[in-house]
Structure formats: structure tokens, C-alpha cells
Structure 1
Amino acid sequence: MTAASEFFVNLPLRYIYTNPDYLDIFIERRIQPELGLDCLGGECLDRKWLEGIRRRLDEAGLSCTVHLPFLDLKPGSLNRAIRGATIEIMTSALDIARMFSPQRMVMHPSLTSWLEPDLFEKTFFYCCETVIRISDHWPGHPPICLENTHELSPAPLVRIVEHIDRENVGICFDLGHWFSFSKGSINKDFDRWFDAFAPYIRHIHLHDNDGDRDAHLALGQGKMDWKHIINRINELSPRPTMTLEPHNRKDFETSMEYFKTKILPALTQK
């Protein structure tokens, strides 16, 4: 697959740290990575190692996006210490992201939708404050794309983006999360979510599932209606960047083939 400026495949830094062959595969096949910055070992502490990855991508002429940390983090936490730790980890991650000049930066706002209304309002405003603090850490940063996860409606994420009201803070529409976590497989409400998100979509995550869980299946191996999804994506102008999110080597190959033969040709037919 030839590298194109708007298409990426997920590649957590911890994968490269434990198996350097992953980076070799991406470079040899000219696949642009979405670098995951949830660092569970020493990979984010070794600046020389990080600079080596950046240099190899630069030499190969490959761009990237980054996925900011999300494990154990809560931007809108009602606990001040947890919010503080989230800001500290996120701003450190932005310093790493800056090394790679990413096209997009994906972030989980991780809203707790089931909270009673008064507590949800608090966590909503705390989340907005946290995103603003993170955004201020890198003036002029590339778009931060807030990703839907467990929300049962598109409204809270849209509300965050509209409240922050910055050109470089938008939405990452994760299609697999909508289909599973948000019960899209049951509600059949893709158009409702798409229409709500459309003005703010800067990035899209593509992976499949059967609706029962966030399985990150290869594209075409679940029950998602990709023909309809791609038809709607074609309505967006400019077209958002996109990342495939397979979680194992077999699904990686299957997703790449499905994307190349089914999705990419449909996306190019305007």
C-alpha cells in the first residue's frame, strides 16, 4: 500500500519497544503510523530512542498521527488529584508528540455519561478545562481530536467541542466504539451520530465488531455497514484523516486488504 497523506494504521510505541520489527514493516510497506503514547515501560523516557524512530520516519518520507495516553486517565475527574495527574501525563505526551510533527492528535475525554445531572455538569466543565490546559501547552498545535468512547449520545462530545470553540480542537469519530459501546448495532443510529459530529470531524478510527464488544476485528469481519459509512464519509469536505485499528497481525493484513480493495476505491469516487 502506497503512503497517502490522510491514511494511517495504529502502532503503539510499546509495540515497537518490545518488537522493533513492527517499525520495519511499516517503513518497508510505506504505511503511515498512528503512534500510541500509552507507555507502559521505559519507551517514553528514552529520548534518543524516540528520536531514532522520528528519524527513520522522516527518512522514509512518512508522516504520522499520535494517540495521546488514555489508560487510567480521566480529564473530567471529580477528583482533583486525578485531573492533575491527567494534565501532567498529557502535557508530557504533547512534548513527545511534538517531536513527530503529527497531523492529528487523538484524545479520550472519557466522560462518565451515567452520572446524575449536577455531577455530570461538574465533570463536563472539568473536562473542558483540562482540554484547554493541554491545548495551551502547545500553542498552534495540530488538531486535537476528541474521541467518542462510552457515550450513549453524540451530544456531550459535540458540546465539549462547541464550548472550547477552537479551530484546532475537533472530533475523532471512532466507528467501532459507536457500534459497540454506544449500542449503534442495536439502535441503528449511525446517521444521527454522523450528522451531529460532521461539522467537527477531523479524524476517523476504522475497525469492526459484532456489536457485542469493542473487539477491534478486521474491517469486513464484523457487522458494520461499511458501504453506507463510506458513502456518508464522502460527504465530508475536506475529508478527514483516517486510522485503521487492528489489534493483531492477522487482522492487520485482513484490514489492509479490505481497505485497499473495498474502502479506498469507494473513497476516491467523488
Structure 2
Amino acid sequence: MSDLPLLGVALPTKELEHFRDFILSDDRDLELQDFFDADLLNGDWKAVADRAKGLLAGYAGRLGIHGPFWGLNIASPDTDLRAIMTRKFLQGLEVCEYLGATQMVIHSPYTTWDFNNLDNFTGRSAYDRVTENCHLTMAPVVRRAEDIGVTMVIENIEDKDPDIRRILADSFDSPAMAVSIDTGHAHYAHGSTGAPPVDFYVRRAGERLQHIHLQDADGHADRHWAVGEGSVNWYAVFRALGELTIKPRLILELRDKAGVLPSVAWLNRMGLAR
């Protein structure tokens, strides 16, 4: 069973002590969840980062953070708002550099409305305008990420089109931009908006996929349930993952952290991951 994919976890620093042995025993991938908070980024974030560093002494796994996202849309056409967002993402990268993190999760700009309306315009493509606005916001962030060796992964939120984030990431022509999938978000889009099933998102991301949030859901809402509690077809998801030549970070992102170890146990019993 040791050849099964190794699971990681998303945690706030306050939970690290409880899961320290679980993480360090196999150097599991870890995503710190504290640093999406705007107030923390504007305040004493180094105190939280130092606490995490102390708890992770001896850790040799792949470390990442969830970047800022509340109220942010990287495709905003407003110049003033873009400047604020650029600054927030640069703050996230400052945290990455301080921690030695090599990945930062950011959110997709695409909505369900976009899927139905981006072709509903004459003249210059609305797709192109969205991409241009993303570049205006993120170009200095991408350059900084390249300098410090961080990859930003674009996570699906409302995305109904499984290709659109990969196309956006590719447009930057940079190793600092790649693709993330949240299984619960994809399952919501499948169940509530008619999007393809989760395994299709994996296949469409292909070799650009560097990060996955694993959570179970019911296709109606963003549940973040323990794996096995919802209706995601995990066999199909891990079959699609097995077709890749790369090893994206497989991050359990659960609302109730008590579900982390049971999720690992469930996936292990099914012969899917460890």
C-alpha cells in the first residue's frame, strides 16, 4: 500500500500541534490556512508564522499557504481595486518567502454567470478582457513568485468550464501559475449548474494540475465534509489522478478537522490513498 498517493492536509496553525505527528511522520504536504485573513496580513502575521515554524521543526515536506481571497476578484476592471489586490497577493508571497512555502492557493475569477455570458457580446472577446484584467492585477505578483520559487494555483470556485482556469494559467507562460481543483466545488458545479463530474476536471487540468483540495459534498453546497460522507465518486477521481505523470498536492480541506484521520482511513481502506 506504500505506493498509494500520500495525503496532505490544510490546517490553521492552532491545529498544528494536534496533527504534528501525522504530518511529520511522513512529511505530508501541508497547507497553512491562517494567511488568507486580511487583518492578519495587515498585522502581526510573523507571530503566527513563527509559531508554525516552531511546530514544524524538522519538517521536509511540501509547504503551502492559502492566499487571500475574501472580497477579491483578480479579473476586476477597476484600477484602484486592482492595486489593492496586487498588494494583498504580494503580502501572501511575503508570508511564503518567510515560511519557505512553495505554493499559494488563489481563487478563480470565473462565475456561473460568466459561463453563460462570456460569448454574449459583440466585438472584442469578453474572455480576452477577463484575461487582460487578470494580467494587470497579477503580473507583478507572478514576477515576484518566480523570483522566490512559489507557484500560485488557481482554485475553481463557481467554474462550470473545467478548461477555463488552465487556459488562464497558461496565458501567463510562467512556472509561477498552475491549476488547483477543489473536489467539493467541482461537485457543487456538477450537481447544481450542470458542470461535468469531478474526474473530468482532473483530466482537463492534466499536467497543469499541481494542487487539489479534497472534500466530500452533496452537489448542492460547499460542504467540506469528511471523505465518504458525501456523494463524490472518489474511485473515478483517483483513477483520473492515476493517469497523470505528476504528483499534485492532495490536501484534505475539511470544515471539521476531526474528520481528517477518518478520511485518510476511508481512502486507505478503499485502496485509493494513504
Distance 2:174 2:59 in 1: 33
Higher relative contact order (CA 8 A, sep 6+): 2
Q: Equivalent of 1:35, from 26, 32, 36?
A: 32
Deviation per CA, 1:175-219, whole angstroms, max 9, x where unpaired? 111110354895554454333211311111110101011111110
In the other structure, the counterpart of 1:25 is 18
In the other structure, the counterpart of 2:129 is 122
Trace 1:114-263 onto structure 2 (pairs within 5 A). Answer: 114-115=113-114, 116-117=117-118, 118-138=125-145, 139-183=147-191, 186-262=194-270
Relative to structure 1, is the Cα distance of residues 164 and 63 closer, same or farther in structure 2, using a 3 angstrom cutoff?
closer
Distance 1:95 1:83 in 2: 18
Task: Please identify runs of 4+ aligned residues in structure 1 that moved more than 6 A.
Answer: none
Relative to structure 1, is the Cα distance of residues 143 and 187 closer, same or farther in structure 2, using a 3 angstrom cutoff?
closer
Aligned residue pairs: how many?
Answer: 257
In the other structure, the counterpart of 1:10 is 10
**Mind listing any 5+ residue stretches in structure 1 that lack a counterpart?**
none
Name the SS for the 1:204 alignment partner. Answer: strand
Q: Mean Cα displacement is larger for which, 96-105 or 253-262?
A: 253-262
| TM-score (norm: length of structure 1) | 0.83
Name the SS for the 1:98 alignment partner. Answer: helix
Relative to structure 1, is the Cα distance of residues 204 and 120 closer, same or farther in structure 2, using a 3 angstrom cutoff?
same
In the other structure, the counterpart of 2:53 is 54
Q: Mean Cα displacement is larger for which, 131-140 or 185-194?
A: 185-194
Distance 2:210 2:61 in 1: 19
Q: Mean Cα displacement is larger for which, 105-114 or 39-48?
A: 39-48
Partner amino acid, structure 1, of 2:36: D
Name the SS for the 2:212 alignment partner. Answer: strand
Distance 2:61 2:201 in 1: 32
Q: How far has the Cα of 1:167 moved from its partner?
A: 2.6
**Mind listing any 5+ residue stretches in structure 2 that lack a counterpart?**
119-124
Q: Is the 8 A contact 1:109 1:127 kept in 2?
A: no
Q: Mean Cα displacement is larger for which, 80-89 or 38-47?
A: 38-47
Relative to structure 1, is the Cα distance of residues 30 and 187 closer, same or farther in structure 2, using a 3 angstrom cutoff?
closer
Q: How far has the Cα of 1:112 moved from its partner?
A: 3.6
Distance 2:42 2:19 in 1: 20
Distance 1:88 1:266 in 2: 40
In the other structure, the counterpart of 2:272 is 266
Q: Mean Cα displacement is larger for which, 56-65 or 97-106?
A: 56-65
Deviation per CA, 1:52-77, whole angstroms, max 9, x where unpaired? 32232133555422111111111111
| TM-score (norm: length of structure 2) | 0.82
Q: Is the 8 A contact 1:8 1:65 kept in 2?
A: no
* Structural RMSD (CA): 2.8
